[in-house]
Structure formats: C-alpha cells, structure tokens
Structure 1
Amino acid sequence: MGRWTQVSAPDLDGTLIRRGDSGYEDARADVVWNGVTPARFPGVIVRAASERDVVRAVDYAREQGLRLSVRSGGHNWSGAPLRDDGLLLDLSRLRECTLAPAAGPDPPTATVGPAVTGQELVAALTPHQLAFPVGHCPTVPVGGFLLSGGLGWNSRAWGASCADVQEVRVVTADGRTVDCTEASHPDLFWAARGAGPGFCGVVTGFRLALHPHPVSIMTTSCTFPLADTARVTEWAEPIARGLPPYVETAFVLMASGPATESVPPGPRISVVATAFASSPETARQALEPFTECPFGELEVAGEPPTPTSYAALHEGASAVWPPDHRYGADNLWAPESYQTQLTRLVDPLATAPSGKSLVLAPVQPVSEDPALLSNMAFAPLGASYLVCYAIWDDPADDPANGGWLREAMAAVDPRGGGRHYIAEADLEAGGPRAQSSYAPAAWDRLAEIKARWDPDDLFHSYLGP
C-alpha cells in the first residue's frame, strides 16, 4: 500500500479530513481517549455517519492503495487505530441502540452500533430490567470492547462479553456487507469475538443476547497498607475462588491511598467484591466472608456490604480512571497465584512517579465454562490476571511514567514470555505482545482468516513496536 496523495473524495454523509486541513489535529487527537496522543499521522480521516459511508470509505481506500485502520470509540490505551499515512475510518457516530423484546422462546436482544458506550447501554437496558456485561469504565464503547473479547461486569458468571454476541455486521475488504453468525460466515464470526484491533473487517453493528437484571447488586471493600499485600492476598484469593460465580472480586493496588483518621496517605491494597444476586439476602450472605478478616486490626478503611447499581459502579470507575489524564497500560495472564504476582509489585507501586497509578487484579475475571468460551478467538490464558495502569496529567512526566510501567511489568514477568489480553496490552512494548494474546492455534487461525478475507492486506494488522 502506498503513501497518501491528494485525490478526489468519496461521496459521504459524514466528513473527510486530510492531513493539513483545518481540524485535522483535533480529529486525530480525538481518536484516542487517552491524553497521550501517539505521534502517528493518518493521511486522511473519514468520520462515517452511516454504514453507507463505511462501504464507500473501504472502497476508496482500496481503490487509492491506502492502508486502512478503524476506530470504534477510542479507548484503546496504545492508540492502535492511529497509523501513519493511509486512511483512518472513525465510527464514533455509529451509535444505534435498539431493543427487541422477548418473542416466544426467543430471548430479548439489543442491536447496537460500535460507538455505543457501556454507560449508554446500561441506561437503555435498566428500565426494561435487562443487563449486559458491559465494560467497567462507562465510556468504553462496545465496538473495540467486544472485538477484543470483553472482560465486563459479572463476566465471571456470564462469560466473556463476546459470548453474548449473536451476530455481527461486517464490511469486508472488498466492500461487501455481510451478516456473520455461527451459521453464516462462521470464520469471521469467530474472529470478531476476540481478534481485537487486528480484525480484518469493519464491524458496523452487533446483535447481543441480554440477561435479566440482577435483583440485587451489592458491593463491599476492605483496604490495608500495601506492605500487607502477601497476607491480604493469601487470605482473600481462596475466598474469592470459592464464592458463587455471581460474585466479582478484585485486588486493587494503589500507589497512594487517601488519609484516614488513623493513617496518613500512602500506598494501599484493597479487596473489592461485588455480588450480582437474586436477592439482597443472597448478595449479603455471599459477601459476608470479606467482612470477617482475621487480621482486621490492620484495616485502614472499609465499606460493609452496600446496595449499588451499574450506574453507581460506573461512577466509581470514572473516579479511578478519570478523563483528561495521560495513561499507559499493560496486562499479564500468568500461571502463578495472585499472592506471588502482586507481591512482586509492592515495591514498584510504592515508588511510582504518580500517586494516581494502580494495579487492578480481578480474581477469575471471566467464566471458564467451556460452553461460554466456545467459538471465539478470545481465551483466558493464565491462573491469575492483572492490569497495571500508569496515570498522570503532566506531559513533562511522560518519560518517567512510561518507563515506570515497563519496569513494573518486567518485575511481574521477570522471565518474559508472559501472556496478555489484547484489549489492554502495551502493544508498543518489546516482544510479540499481540501474538502472545492468543493461544497458538487461535493465532494461526486468525492469520488464515485474514489471508482469506483480506488477501491484499488492506486493513492494518496489530500494532507493534
């Protein structure tokens, strides 16, 4: 594929912006939710207003010899849609959200555009007492989230979010629009459930199976000094693994927690558990083990089991991952226990250059029921899982925080060669980050599907160093 040169624009309902045009830099920066905008510059950006625009943009890129990348919502930490030269197809205006009620034996479904956010989907479903395992951050759009597999709220019970994808509508490299299911174009359907930013097409819509809204959502937490990480994880991990699948438990390691009446600000570890239960009594009973810590005298803060909602959970996530900040992120699936892995991160967290940085480590973040992992490129790849986030706000601190993130990940993966989750992997770090986000057979099958559906390599593959 050649470099971009100025040619006539396709007929669009949306807009086309060339590099050098007024508004180009704003459009380029808007592609990434992260305040860090990578120094990569598409030759032209198409902001699609319709599926018709998507088809015309794909045809235009193919006819002009332009490589093509796709942005559905912009939450990818590495800014994978931003590539030099070529055409960037921005789907952020495709925000359809339509509910279809249950009809006889057929359960209710939702048809959503790729730019619909988790927060918007929750708002549409809750009045109908329906739910979906949306992403933990409210502003995460469903497009990239579902394409990557999706580790969402209550995924330990409901499975990876892509398990509830019943159909995807795809514009292919030759400009066709195809509806993909288990029975129709099953290879593209399989790839669309986990391939992430390397998917060889443009998904313009998803049909989603929905769940009954939990009768009770309840959360509890307990917080300790970070120095007690080994003791806290040794106590809490077996409890978390033994609880019903509708209880989601996570360790959160913070570079600096707030002061309390008894202790000054300092690094912390929290155990946060949320039950998505059939009754308040069931939820409260499931969370009770976390209220009976044998070394409770070390606790510096805590919240008893308290009713909450998806909207409130999203508000809490917004406070942890605030907008208008600069981010770096990387993750690891590993065979070791949470005690082993998180203890390795105590010293890096305690010396982080930003007090806002943190590590999130959900215990069993996704159901491992084979029925909920079938027919998808995504798979959990280890006994423990964690994501390390560098969070800061001053551009002058970019080198320090970027370096800290990679040093922290080296500490937790000292031999290298760890496995990753494509949605939050540091794709520009050393090593084959994309390839190590898949089982070997899945990686080979993804390559075969791309060769079949995109033989001329129109679509950019995975971002790398």
Structure 2
Amino acid sequence: MAALTLGAGLPATAVPSRSDWNALAGGLDGRLVRPGDATYDTARRLFNPAFDAVRPAGVAYCANPSDVAECVGFARRMNVPLAVRSGGHSYAGWSTGTGLVVDVSRMNRVSHASGRATVGAGAKLVDVYDRLGADGVGIPAGSCPTVGVSGLALGGGIGVVSRKYGLTCDVMESVQIVTADGRLLTCDADHNPDLYWASRGGGGGNLGVAVSFGFRTHPTREVTVFFLHWPWAKAAKAVRAWQAWAPSAPDELWSTMHLSRDGGMDAQIVGLYLGGRSGCERLLDRLTDRIGAVSASSVRQTSYRQAMMIMAGCSTLSVSQCHQAGSLPGQTTDGRLSRDTFAAKSHMAYRPLSEAGAKTLVAEVARPGNHTVLLDALGGAVSRVRPDATAFPHRAALFSVQYYAHRAGAAAWARAAHARMRPHFGDHAYVNYIDAELDGWRAAYYGANAGRLARIKAARDPGRLFRLPQGI
C-alpha cells in the first residue's frame, strides 16, 4: 500500500521557530510530537525500518479535518515539507520527511448503515474488516492488516475479493479531502467530480489529504480458503497453469501465487472462494489436473471475518493483537506484529508469460537471498470497468506482480529481477507499490489517464503545495 505523501524529503526554505511550532500544537485538537518528546522515536517510524534515519521536525496526530487544515495551512505559510501518513507503508518511504508528518491514524472511525460504510482515513484494514464484519458486510480491500485504508483506496486497491466486487476504489462512493487552500471538500459523482475521479487510482499525496471515505458494502457469508503447495521442480509449470486459470475463473474465486525463497523454496497458491468447500474443490481440481499432485494442501470453510484474519497472517491472533505494539494511534498495547525491512518493485501483467518467461521468473526467485514474487489474480469485476472510468488504468491486466525482498541484498535482487522480467511484462506498474527507481513511472502507473490527472492537478493545486518525487 502506498501511503499519502506531501513533499516528503524536500528541503524547507524557511525554518519555523519554536514559537511557530508551539502555536501549531496549540491549534490542534490532536497531538504534535516533536524531537525530544518521549514518544518521538516511535512516532517518526514507518513500517519499513529502512527509513529510520529520517527525522521529521514534527509528527501531528490529527483528531479531525480541522487539524489537517491547520497543518496544511502551517506548511503553506512556513514552506515546510508536508508528508501525510495513514498506515506508514509507503514503499519509497514517502510517508515521512524532514518537515511535518500529518498522521491521520486517529481518524479511524468505521460505521455502517443501509449498505454504506463511512470509514475514517486512518483506519487500518484489520479494523475495517472487523467492524464491518460485525454488521455482516465488507468492502473489497487488501490483506496486509496494518495498511491504512486511505493509501490503499486512493491508489486503486487490489484485494482479496476484487474479482467479485471490484477494487477498493470501485466501491468508493465519496471521499472528503482537505485541499491545498485548507478547504474540506466532499467529492463524489455530483460534487467535485474531477477530484472524485482522480481519487480512485491516482495515488495518495497528489491533490490533498483524504480524511474520510464512503464505500458501498457487500453482504458477507461463509467462504472457503485454500493453500496449495507444489515441489519447486513444478514451479514453472504451476505459473503457466495458474495464469491460464486464475484470471478467467468465476468471479467468486480469487487467488495469489507465491514463488518464494524465504526460509526455503516454495511454489504456493493461496486463495479465497465466496462459496462452499465442494464448489471450491471442483475449481481447484481443474488447476491441479494441469500441474500435478500437490505436496501439501489445506482447504477449509470458515467465516468471512476469520478468512480475512487468515489472509492477514493473523489466524491465531485476536484483532487487537493483529497490530504493531505501542500506545500511539494505530497501535495496540498487546500488538504482536513486527516491522519489516524490505525492498520491492512491481509489474502489471497484460499478457501471459511464455514458457521462457515462466522459467526466467522461477530462475530469478531461485537466486540466493530472502525474497518472494507474488502474483495476484485480476480479471472478473476489475476488468469490466473502463480504463478511463477511474484513474486506475490497468483494467485489462491479468494479474499484478510484486517483487518483495528482505534483508541483505534485497534491493539488488529486486532491481535485477524486475529488469530481467521487463521484456516479458512490459512497463506497467502499480502506484500502490510505488518505486522510487522506476523510469517512465508516469506512464507505468497511470497509462492514458496521466494527462487528465495532470490537468486536474494544475487546476486544483497550481502552486504545487502537494509535492512528491513522483507527483502528477
């Protein structure tokens, strides 16, 4: 998930005084954390420890849209770089900076009425699933539990039930945004439709600070989750079989393929079926017939809420434990999730891999290191939306590709694997896996929608208060 970011890492041309910062703190209903405060070293951290050297001048935990407007006004008057953080998962580290970090985690209320969810921009996905699940409804969203809903939705939102219900941005019926002039605007099909269009796939941090969303919900039911493993010798065959099966399966079935060298070599297909076990097994039989016998498998029916916990890697934890530990907003005192040092890149696959392409991908994963390639199936409802209907352009993609590496040599492996797969996948990429090294990023993220996004940017933020290294 790419977090909201405004001007992260750009040097300020004016230095606010202590009294300026004190005035900002006094004008907030929330809390401003400054260097020297007891919680500063925790407050400044992102999910990825690779960015721990960045030291913001202040971190504002905004309690409401007025706090956000106060921070935006401060940044504008003082010419201070402004980074906005929802979950802190920005792959490029652009949800921090040397100036003011606006953290929206306190604005995390989730409510539901008459088929519509109202979700604060700081809500974490595990809490969204849990609170909506209590009412027997859900929204299509991702699997990482501590990702903030804001960054996910603004960049598109590939997720666990997207093939049935669409991307997160496809069920976004409205969004409230604080713009560069400090106004709080409601954006939907009838009000500020340009910002509404751009907020569905244009990526966070370009046009303002989202503070709240209205999402169309779907009713939930018992589902079936599955985990299938094959010997590494069958990995290339499994890739080719999966890519022919997954994007064209019934909408009710979503799956992801993981090729991993992280604690061992593994070719795994994981997924969720919006239906019973017997129907799921019939569909899985079509896949296993193409690949061959599995080395291990698990197929079981469970509640929708528990399925989301399983996909989050939190099957043995409570919702409260499925957070990072701490006392700051977005954390819980009994949280058990850890941070992760990683490097990542992406492709969007518009065509199937050839036999040679599949072998190349498998060979890249087999290289020494701790890394995984994740292929998430698209098609279904995602593909039935026009590429220009929202800012997310990749409606014809068959699946997304993420190169995710840990520890020593992570960046070098991701860079090499991405380069070697470029002849097979082309130059399409997912803005929520934002990549600071990516050449041609504007076309890769936005395709033919880039020009319209640039025109909206020029009209809504002519002074470019909201700046990103890769900003529209």
For 1:274 and 1:374, the matched residues in 2 are separated by 29
In the superposition, relative to structure 1, how do residues 209 and 384 fare at CA in structure 2: closer, same or farther (>3 Å)? closer
Match of residue 309 from structure 2: 314
1:335 is aligned to 2:333? no
C-alpha contact 2:108 2:121 (8 A) present in aligned 1 = yes
Match of residue 133 from structure 2: 126
| Correspondences of 1:105-116 after superposition (within 5 Å) | 108-116=115-123
For 2:402 and 2:111, the matched residues in 1 are separated by 33
For 2:80 and 2:15, the matched residues in 1 are separated by 6
Q: Deviations over 1:197-251 (max 9, x none)?
A: 34211111001110011x3311223212333222222333323244211101221
In the superposition, relative to structure 1, how do residues 200 and 38 fare at CA in structure 2: closer, same or farther (>3 Å)? farther
Q: Deviations over 1:308-337 (max 9, x none)?
A: 634344334337996322121211013341
For 1:50 and 1:189, the matched residues in 2 are separated by 21
For 1:171 and 1:327, the matched residues in 2 are separated by 31
The alpha-carbon deviation at position 3 of structure 1 amounts to 3.9
C-alpha contact 1:73 1:114 (8 A) present in aligned 2 = no
C-alpha contact 1:180 1:188 (8 A) present in aligned 2 = yes
In the superposition, relative to structure 1, how do residues 316 and 156 fare at CA in structure 2: closer, same or farther (>3 Å)? closer
1:94 is aligned to 2:103? no
1:272 pairs with 255, 260, 270, which one? 270
2:259 pairs with 245, 253, 270, which one? 253
Secondary structure of 1:318 counterpart: coil
Gaps of 5+ in 1: 103-107, 258-265
Match of residue 47 from structure 1: 61
In the superposition, relative to structure 1, how do residues 125 and 171 fare at CA in structure 2: closer, same or farther (>3 Å)? same
2:286 pairs with 289, 295, 300, which one? 289
For 2:126 and 2:145, the matched residues in 1 are separated by 5
What amino acid maps onto 2:296 in structure 1? A
What amino acid maps onto 2:103 in structure 1? D
1:201 is aligned to 2:208? yes
For 1:45 and 1:234, the matched residues in 2 are separated by 47
In the superposition, relative to structure 1, how do residues 313 and 416 fare at CA in structure 2: closer, same or farther (>3 Å)? closer
Match of residue 402 from structure 1: 411
In the superposition, relative to structure 1, how do residues 12 and 187 fare at CA in structure 2: closer, same or farther (>3 Å)? same
The alpha-carbon deviation at position 339 of structure 1 amounts to 5.3
Match of residue 105 from structure 1: none
C-alpha contact 2:265 2:366 (8 A) present in aligned 1 = yes
TM-score (norm 1): 0.85
TM-score (norm 2): 0.84
C-alpha contact 1:222 1:270 (8 A) present in aligned 2 = yes
Match of residue 150 from structure 2: 143
C-alpha contact 2:59 2:103 (8 A) present in aligned 1 = yes
C-alpha contact 1:170 1:179 (8 A) present in aligned 2 = yes
- Percent identity, aligned pairs only, is 28
Match of residue 232 from structure 1: 238
For 1:98 and 1:70, the matched residues in 2 are separated by 23
Gaps of 5+ in 2: 1-11, 316-321, 323-336
Match of residue 58 from structure 1: 72
For 1:39 and 1:431, the matched residues in 2 are separated by 26
Match of residue 16 from structure 2: 5
For 2:380 and 2:101, the matched residues in 1 are separated by 32
1:431 is aligned to 2:439? yes
The alpha-carbon deviation at position 178 of structure 1 amounts to 0.9
Moved more, 240-249 or 201-210: 240-249
1:181 pairs with 150, 169, 188, which one? 188
Match of residue 25 from structure 1: 41
C-alpha contact 1:152 1:161 (8 A) present in aligned 2 = yes
Number of residue pairs aligned between Structure 1 and Structure 2? 433
The alpha-carbon deviation at position 413 of structure 1 amounts to 1.3
C-alpha contact 1:250 1:363 (8 A) present in aligned 2 = yes
C-alpha contact 1:68 1:87 (8 A) present in aligned 2 = yes
C-alpha contact 1:160 1:373 (8 A) present in aligned 2 = no
Q: Deviations over 1:368-400 (max 9, x none)?
A: 4444766311121634421111134xxxx3xx1
The alpha-carbon deviation at position 190 of structure 1 amounts to 0.7
1:379 is aligned to 2:393? yes
In the superposition, relative to structure 1, how do residues 273 and 339 fare at CA in structure 2: closer, same or farther (>3 Å)? farther
Match of residue 260 from structure 1: none
In the superposition, relative to structure 1, how do residues 20 and 443 fare at CA in structure 2: closer, same or farther (>3 Å)? farther
In the superposition, relative to structure 1, how do residues 242 and 419 fare at CA in structure 2: closer, same or farther (>3 Å)? closer
C-alpha contact 2:344 2:414 (8 A) present in aligned 1 = yes
Across the aligned residues of Structure 1 and Structure 2, the Cα RMSD in angstroms comes to: 2.7
Secondary structure of 1:62 counterpart: helix
C-alpha contact 2:62 2:104 (8 A) present in aligned 1 = yes
In the superposition, relative to structure 1, how do residues 386 and 307 fare at CA in structure 2: closer, same or farther (>3 Å)? same
Match of residue 225 from structure 2: 219
For 2:272 and 2:354, the matched residues in 1 are separated by 21
1:422 pairs with 427, 431, 446, which one? 431
1:83 is aligned to 2:97? yes
